[in-house]
Amino acid sequence: MQPTVKPKNLNFSSGPCSKRPGYDVRALQLDTLGRSHRSALGKKALGLACSETARILGLPETCRVGVVPGSDTGAVEMALWSLLGARGVDVLAWESFGSGWATDVVKQLKLADARVLKADYGAIVDLTQVNFDRDVVFTWNGTTSGVRVPNGDWIPAERAGLTICDATSAVFAMDLPWDKLDVVTFSWQKVLGGEGAHGMLILGPRAVERLESYTPPWPLPKVFRLTSAGKLSEGIFRGETINTPSMLCVADYLDALNWIESIGGVAGAIARSEANLRVIADFVAANEWISFLATDPATRSNTSVCLSVDLSAEQVKKMVKLLESEGVAYDIGSYKDAPAGIRIWCGATIETSDVAALMPWLAWAYAQVSA
Ligand SMILES: Cc1ncc(COP(=O)(O)O)c(C=O)c1O
């Protein structure tokens, strides 16, 4: 039987992710538009993007938060190009984005002492094998496989190398051990439902120390440069961006941060995301034709939930198309490089009632396609 209730919001994409409930572009504070980003007004908005991020995330006072170009990719690559090469590096990869950072380190930076620890989609690398005397590059939540690190217990408080963490689909959705992460990056377009284009770069004191004591042997484009005459460019971490940002995206980000605060801050955002995951976990437990791609329940993502369906790749595509044409769900096919399956975003901007409304439709679409 075709279900009768549809999700009110069909946007289940894993990036850009759904706008927050009640979002209205007309409600953004747009007095910065058409003004210089270096005017007092522009700098104030950009400064708030940094300071409000730090306050709402509860970052240690020693952390610096900057807005950088190129979305999350820009922030990660800026860190890799600025920091690596001082010692050996372990790169951990278990899906597409982690593999991309491994390619950067091995094929682009061509670091001689690089070790890539790799696992297949659905699995995670053996975290006990990581050597923290070396720099460590990893993704907190693998968005394309729905596999996350279970926690930060595997990272020692005392370590010689730096930890560089792409946490774009984890910040505002998972508890992060900030004192164990020397570099954290994320973009506005994920958990907050913000816009692409700008990335957030969070530096702990050990990363700053590296920046001020080490100069990489390769050239650095201007958009990657975090230091000037051997000193950290502190202005970047007060909203003096390297180049011109979109003030419209900044206004949108400040709106998203306000919303996070209104739902109880990070704890509230995590609770919404976990409630969404629970709905899917209950559905998977009750239906044997669908399963989590993540094999270990401790590594199941509560944001990018990736599911395997007992169908051919062609049939899964049909299922995804059918759900779109029925006006039930958009963009829930797995990532282009990942195994065929379904991926449902479960971050805070998604209403649990919409995830619940989607579940019977999955069963219906499966029955249609497999018939
Ligand atoms: C884990 C991870 N890293 C990096 C990216 C790239 O993000 P952006 O397109 O914001 O640069 C994504 C986007 O989906 C991602 O999921």
Q: What is the pLDDT of residue 327?
A: 98
> Which of the residues in the chain have pLDDT under 70?
none
How high is the pLDDT of residue 5? 98
pLDDT of 71 reads 98
Task: Give the relative orientation of helices 40-57 and 247-262 as an angle to the nearest 10 degrees.
Answer: 30
Q: Is the CB of 143 under 6 A from ligand 1?
A: yes
Distance 164 CA to ligand 1 centre (A): 15
Instruction: Say what the pLDDT of residue 318 is.
Output: 98
Question: Angle between the 352-370 and 313-325 helix axes, to the nearest 10 degrees?
Answer: 130
Q: Out of 14, 78, 101, 169, give the residue to mutate to test ligand 1, the one with the largest number of ligand atoms within 8 Å of its CB.
A: 169
Q: According to the model, what pLDDT value does residue 165 have?
A: 99
Which pLDDT score, from 0 to 100, does residue 191 have? 98
Q: Is the CB of 104 under 6 A from ligand 1?
A: no
pLDDT at 150: 98
pLDDT of residue 181: 98
Atom of ligand 1 nearest to the CA of 304: 16
What pLDDT, on the 0 to 100 scale, is given for residue 176? 98
Q: Which among 131, 127, 89 is positioned nearest to 108, based on CA atoms?
A: 89
Among 17, 91, 143, name the best residue to mutate to test ligand 1's pocket (greatest count of ligand atoms within 8 A of Cβ). Answer: 143
In a 10 Å sphere around its CB, with 0-12 CB exposed, 13-18 middle and 19+ buried, how is residue 213 labelled?
exposed
Ligand 1 pocket member 145 (CB < 6 A): no
- Residue 211, SS3 per DSSP: helix
- 71 CB less than 6 Å from ligand 1? yes
pLDDT digits (tens, 9 = 90+) for 307-335: 999 999 999 999 999 999 999 999 999 99
Q: What is the pLDDT of residues 275-304, one digit of tens each?
A: 999 999 999 999 999 999 999 999 999 999
**Number of other CB atoms surrounding residue 319 within 10 Å:** 26
Angle 59-64-70 from CA coordinates, rounded to 5°: 110
How many angstroms is it from 142 CA to the middle of ligand 1? 9
